[in-house]
Amino acid sequence: MDAFLIKGPSRLSGTLRASGAKNAALPAMAAALLTDAPVTLEEVPDLADVDTMTRLLEGMGVLVATPAPSRRIVDASRVTSTEAPYDLVRTMRASILVLGPLVARFGEARVSLPGGCAIGVRPVDLHLRALEALGARIAVEKGYIHAHVSRVGRGTGRLTGTTIRFPSPTVTGTENVLFAATLARGTTVIENAAREPEVEDVALLLTRMGARVTGAGTPTITVEGVERLSGTGPSPHTIVPDRIEAGTYLAAGAITGGDVTVSRARARDLGAFLDALRRAGAGVETTEDGVRVFASRPLEGVDIETAPHPGFPTDLQAQFLALMTQAKGTSRLVETIFENRFLHAVELARLGADVRVEGRTALVRGPSKLEGAPVTASDLRASAALVLAGLVARGETLVRRIYHLDRGYAAMDQRLRSLGASVERIDG
């Protein structure tokens, strides 16, 4: 199994270009199921999760072409199956994103129920209740979600627009309803919708395809259903830059006392995170084409609490915790989104970090002198935190099970090397 061997400490400096966002590329690929015309996407990141989504779509008879490394043409003109099998769904929870499009276009879907994962239970009850409200009949049998829309007359069953109010914002839940509503009869209003930039990006793509969507990026999204959607036409839809990848490399700049610029990163998507970096004493600058983070004064501990966008993203909590091990004083990190998202704390402690976890709160005391050791990655973002710590730890840190990292970071070893880190991918 692949591992990263990191020799530290190092000081990172240089410029990287942000990849397209994983969490926008996956729903964009699923959106192509809504139409029989080709959907062309640009800035699709080279990630294991994108390969998994490709396999999932291909299993349904969808053609996915790669005419250039970051370009995909997704052609769902000949869908032969409306099933998402357990073997693929269990490796990638985002597979649930095919549910809304399949029900909307074909009036039926059979999607394996995603299980829990390392960071928590992660139910999809809100997705299912919303689709029911739109008129789908949902049954869960033998681990599969069966969704069906009754026909009226000939043809496939069609969903009916309604008002859906989420009790709390859900990102993929909002996207699934958005997909379903584009082809529904009448108007759908999504209240308390997720406001993440990736939701906005997906809405932009749907609009390109002929959907009538307003309010994406705000808590209320309105969708006027149309009879059919088209493809993207001659020019592709460009996936929004990955704010989590950008934030991770900016944190790498800060933790190593270096100077890192991520071009194409959008400061407005990273507001709460950049604000926390500033409060911690890092230099933060918005450049013409991105964001720069550099050492300015010794880091100081700051408190953060994760929250739905525009709050501090849960997907950057682990990386920020790693950073706080190098800050003076005590930092209090509260995780409000997922119930078990401090698995990295125990591993960071093996490198010498002083972290105490009590329920949904982590208390970090720093600065700690970290020493290299073997550590094991538990999930995608936790793995990134271990790599960040490895960059400042003295000696060799072996981060095991980096298949988690490959799900969400393209060529992380190469990219860190380009900034001056000593990172090797080995079999370990």
Q: Considering the candidates 37, 63, 117, 346, report the single residue annotated as catalytic.
A: 117
Contact between residue 335 and residue 320 where contact means Cβ atoms under 8 Å apart: no
Cβ nearer to ligand UD1, comparing 296 with 340: 340
The SS3 assignment for 391 reads: helix
Stretch that binds ligand UD1, among 82-90, 116-124, 134-142, 346-354 (CB under 6 A): 116-124
Question: Distance between CA 265 and CA 270 in Å, rounded?
Answer: 8
Residue 51: its H or E element: helix 48-58
* Of 11, 17, 71, 122, the one binding ligand UD1 by CB under 6 A: 122
* Of 200, 242, 315, 406, the one binding ligand UD1 by CB under 6 A: 315
Q: How far is the CB of 198 from ligand UD1 (least distance, A)?
A: 6
Residues 21-60 vs ligand UD1: string with x where CB under 6 A?
--x--x----------------------------------
115 binds ligand UD1 (CB under 6 A): no
Look up residue 344 and give its two tokens.
């990295």
The shares of helix, strand and coil residues in the chain, as percent rounded to the nearest 5, are 35, 30, 35
Reduced 3-state DSSP string for 112-155: ECCCCECCECCCCHHHHHHHHHCCCEEEEECCEEEEECCCCCCC
148 binds ligand UD1 (CB under 6 A): no
Residue 232 among the catalytic residues: no
Helices and strands in the chain, H and E counts: 14, 24
Stretch that binds ligand UD1, among 53-61, 98-106, 119-127, 322-330 (CB under 6 A): 119-127
Cβ nearer to ligand UD1, comparing 120 with 329: 120
Give the C-alpha distances (Å, rounded to integers) separating 11 from 85, 285, 311, 420: 45, 19, 29, 7
Question: Distance between CA 46 and CA 20 in Å, rounded?
Answer: 9
Q: How far is the CB of 37 from ligand UD1 (least distance, A)?
A: 25
Cβ nearer to ligand UD1, comparing 292 with 381: 381
* Distance, C-alpha 131 to centroid of its chain: 22
Cβ nearer to ligand UD1, comparing 171 with 402: 171
Q: Which of 332, 306, 327 is nearest to 389 (CA)?
A: 327
Cβ nearer to ligand UD1, comparing 35 with 176: 176
| DSSP tag of 184 | S
237 binds ligand UD1 (CB under 6 A): no
Stretch that binds ligand UD1, among 61-69, 139-147, 169-177, 353-361 (CB under 6 A): 169-177
What is the contact surface with ligand UD1 in residues (CB under 6 A)?
23, 26, 93-94, 120, 122-127, 168, 170-173, 194, 198, 314-315, 337-338
